[in-house]
Structure 1
Amino acid sequence: MNYKGDRSFQGGEDLLFRHLLPDTPEVKRIKSLRGREYEYAEYIGIVEYSIARHFCETDRKIKDRDAVSALKNIRKNFNKDVAFFKPGLEREIVKNLVEILEEKPITHHELKLVIDYVLDVIENRAWMEDEQAYLKWVAYIMNLFTEEESEEYEKSIKKLAARLGLSRKHADLMLMKGEEEDYFEFVEEYGAESEGDDGDEGWGEGEEPDEEELIAEMERRFLSMEDSEKFDFLMENGPEFYEFVGLYISELAEKGEFGRIQELYSKLTAKYDDFLFLYVYMGATYLEIDPALAKSYFELALKALDNLDELSASTKERLRDNFLSLIKKIN
């Protein structure tokens, strides 16, 4: 993406408020920009580009929380002069917003939704336990990283995905790479033929599903499989689709089929080493009905955690504290 950005401003010269249109009842009914990203792509893009460029060209030490703080302050102060905002990231975002709003104004409410959207994107990467998870990602997708930095970033994401039991497809999704059909490759072998030709299924022409929609669709298709298909699928793809292991164990537990759960557990542990999330799911399943057994699974999770070198120290510490707390409560 290419933005002009960083036009010269003098203190007291301009403010966001002057370039915003009055809200209308129709606009006020919009609660979120999810599903409407293309309508507001320029505004979302200029905010994210401003953040990415500041990170890459001005201050490599800023954290995601700094971007969050800047956005929240801007959101609260649309009526303030450009000079009101802190020099650096805040002012750069505001200047670039003023520039685009001069040409294509939107309403107060719409601009708040744009900022809320970017805040959600930042929050959606908080689980990665990297204080610059969003900043690195947005710099990567805006092509502001050097070739070497991009390669290093891709490598780090793929390592993280592998350590968490996520598939290569999930890693590509985290990098915003690949096509929709790549993420449904597994369906071709498992139950796709049973879906029929319902023209209302899936996404319409030109629509692109986001990460949540893709995962929800994969989950729906997995749950529609026969029991034997689910079992066989997890035996072949358990670590790659560890979320489905949890879904299947939960489904079996609700039916009281603990023998089947133990069969799955025995076969998965025989085939895969240090399957952290399997131990966690097993511990959670037996926590109330067999605390001693649950404890043994959480202890196995602790041991597996020590072997996950790619997790950040803070993530490992948080998980370790959670496991130890559960074990202590059981004791």
Structure 2
Amino acid sequence: MNFETGKFTEEGEDSLFRHFEPDTPEVMKINSLQGREYEYSDYLGTIEYSIARYFYEDDRKIKDEDAVSALKNIRKNCEKNISFFKRDLEKEIIENLIELLEGEPISQHEFKLMIDYVLEVIDNRAWMEDEQAYIKWAAYVMGLFTEEESEDYEKSIKKLAAKLGLSSKHADLMLLKGNEDDYFEFVENYGGDEGEELTEEALIDEVERKFLSLTDAEKVDFLLENGPDLYEFVGFYISELSERDEFEKIQELYRKLIEKYDDFIYLYVFMGGAYIEIDPALAKFYFEKALTSLDKLDDFSDSTKEVFRANILELIEKIN
């Protein structure tokens, strides 16, 4: 018996359930922790740090699916004693949460919402072509990686972003490196909901939605301001103008962007794509400009350049 808490804490015979506060009508109205992350940051951080630490220090072979399985088992059996759980990862998460709950108790409903939130965070990285996408990211943001490991991880994320046609700012968002302000500023300037808190994925979706709702003049101003940093939107707008057969506006946009930004490789590719059906010769000209600019870029690794080169040459081959 712990005489300070009055709880039975013999090794293996404590449980999360013993530390929960009663659920109240007010608490039961909470359906999600989205937008309430700050209130529960200690608990969310404890769960994610437990997973990241276990991966980094104990078992580098565990996968995201192992973390998901552990969290679901803990959620389902939170009333069971620690001795019920067989996996070390589960025990570590539970023990660390109990230590926190002893001083800052929450209700069972809040606990389950907390687990659901982390499960959603893991699922949001399922598209990243890596069975350890979440676990590696957690170890990175928790500062567990060495400097060399962090650099390698950042390179891998930037390479993935380039492969998927995402901008450097998207890559920074994936790394949580602090460039969210650029996105928030854009959403706020063009009618974002005051006080609304968005997840990384929702934030990007909101920026895209806001951009597509702008007038043509506003879109041009935005693209001239952000250019290569948010080049996806250049592609959105050129595609939109192409569908409307407004090729004069496409040429006007091209002239303005190329005056401001040298060797804008994505612009050349987007221009080639816009003309590949109606003017193959002009499309080939833009693709060849993209090839020329490719060798001048220092931001891309040699392997990334070769992937780009192969893709562009394939487009040119289709024209020939």
* One-letter code aligned to 1:57: E
Cα deviation for residue 225 of structure 1 reads 3.1
SS at match of 1:39: coil
The 8 Å contact of residues 63 and 132 in structure 1, kept in 2 or not, is answered as yes
* One-letter code aligned to 1:142: M
* One-letter code aligned to 1:222: F
The 8 Å contact of residues 19 and 101 in structure 2, kept in 1 or not, is answered as yes
Q: Which residue of 2 aligns with 1:10?
A: 11
Cα deviation for residue 73 of structure 1 reads 0.7
Matched, 1:223 2:212: yes
The 8 Å contact of residues 172 and 179 in structure 2, kept in 1 or not, is answered as no
**Alpha-carbon distance in structure 1 between the residues aligned to 2:181 and 2:123:** 27
Cα deviation for residue 240 of structure 1 reads 5.3
The 8 Å contact of residues 165 and 232 in structure 2, kept in 1 or not, is answered as no
The 8 Å contact of residues 71 and 119 in structure 1, kept in 2 or not, is answered as yes
**Alpha-carbon distance in structure 2 between the residues aligned to 1:239 and 1:39:** 37
Alpha-carbon distance change, 251 to 273 in structure 1, aligned in 2, over 3 angstroms: closer
Residue of structure 1 aligned with 2:201, choices 212, 219, 240: 212
Which deviates more from structure 2 when the two are superposed, residues 40-49 or residues 208-217? 208-217
The 8 Å contact of residues 242 and 278 in structure 1, kept in 2 or not, is answered as no
* One-letter code aligned to 2:212: L
The 8 Å contact of residues 166 and 240 in structure 1, kept in 2 or not, is answered as no
The 8 Å contact of residues 165 and 240 in structure 1, kept in 2 or not, is answered as no
- Summarize the alignment of residues 144-293 of structure 1 with structure 2, pairs less than 5 Å apart: 144-183=144-183, 203-204=194-195, 209-227=198-216, 230=219, 241=230, 243-244=232-233, 247-248=236-237, 251=240, 257=245
The 8 Å contact of residues 17 and 79 in structure 2, kept in 1 or not, is answered as yes
- Summarize the alignment of residues 83-94 of structure 1 with structure 2, pairs less than 5 Å apart: 83-94=83-94
Would you say how many aligned residue pairs link Structure 1 and Structure 2? 278
Cα deviation for residue 139 of structure 1 reads 0.6
* One-letter code aligned to 1:173: L
**Alpha-carbon distance in structure 2 between the residues aligned to 1:162 and 1:36:** 32
**Which structure 1 residue ranges, 5 or more long, are not aligned?**
1-7, 283-289, 291-299, 301-307, 311-331
**Alpha-carbon distance in structure 2 between the residues aligned to 1:149 and 1:9:** 39
Cα deviation for residue 210 of structure 1 reads 3.4
Cα deviation for residue 168 of structure 1 reads 1.8
SS at match of 1:38: coil
SS at match of 1:103: coil
TM-score norm. by structure 2 comes to 0.68
Q: Which residue of 2 aligns with 1:305?
A: none
Per-residue CA distance 1:64-93 (angstroms, 9 max, x = gap): 110001001111101111011123111111
Q: Which residue of 2 aligns with 1:142?
A: 142
**Which structure 2 residue ranges, 5 or more long, are not aligned?**
1-8, 258-262, 278-286, 288-301, 305-320
**Alpha-carbon distance in structure 2 between the residues aligned to 1:90 and 1:106:** 19
Cα deviation for residue 149 of structure 1 reads 0.9
**Alpha-carbon distance in structure 1 between the residues aligned to 2:137 and 2:179:** 18
SS at match of 1:83: helix
Q: Which residue of 2 aligns with 1:133?
A: 133
Q: Which residue of 1 aligns with 2:43?
A: 43
* One-letter code aligned to 1:10: E
* One-letter code aligned to 1:223: L
Cα deviation for residue 244 of structure 1 reads 3.4
Q: Which residue of 1 aligns with 2:108?
A: 108
Alpha-carbon distance change, 73 to 30 in structure 1, aligned in 2, over 3 angstroms: same
Per-residue CA distance 1:214-234 (angstroms, 9 max, x = gap): 324422442243335546866
**Rg larger in 1 or in 2?**
2
Per-residue CA distance 1:85-136 (angstroms, 9 max, x = gap): 1231111111111111122111111000000000011011111111111111
Q: Which residue of 2 aligns with 1:33?
A: 33
Per-residue CA distance 1:31-87 (angstroms, 9 max, x = gap): 110000011111111100100110011000100110001001111101111011123
